Amino acid sequence: MSDDLKGQARRDCWQSRIEAWQLSGQSQKAFCRVHALNYPQFVYWRRKFRQHTASPSPKASSGFVTVVPRVFRRT
């Protein structure tokens, strides 16, 4: 098996583990303990997948909203 295929298999495996954790309702540490997973590796892969799925739009991820000043005129 080539290194690229091994890397893809590793990513697929960790992605399925992360998805299983999300459905489990358990804390990350509890899930790792029950499934005999290395917690630091779990955190590494969770962050890696979160970065790849994060929206590229800064408006969606910043938490800020656009404020448009309103001009009041006296008549």
pLDDT in tens, the chain (75 residues): 677 778 889 999 999 999 999 999 999 999 999 999 999 999 999 999 888 765 555 545 567 777 888 777 776
In-domain check, residue 37: yes
In-domain check, residue 35: yes
Residue 46: its pLDDT value, please? 93
Q: What's the structural domain count of the chain? A: 1
In-domain check, residue 38: yes
In-domain check, residue 45: yes
Q: pTM of the predicted model, to two decimals?
A: 0.63
Residue 73: its pLDDT value, please? 74
Residue 71: its pLDDT value, please? 79
In-domain check, residue 72: no
Instruction: Report whether 26 contacts 34 (CB < 8 A).
Output: yes
In-domain check, residue 74: no
In-domain check, residue 67: no
Instruction: Report whether 16 contacts 31 (CB < 8 A).
Output: no
Instruction: Give the domain extent around 33.
Output: 3-62
In-domain check, residue 73: no
Ordered DSSP codes for 6-43: HHHHHHHHHHHHHHHHHHH---HHHHHHHTT--HHHHH
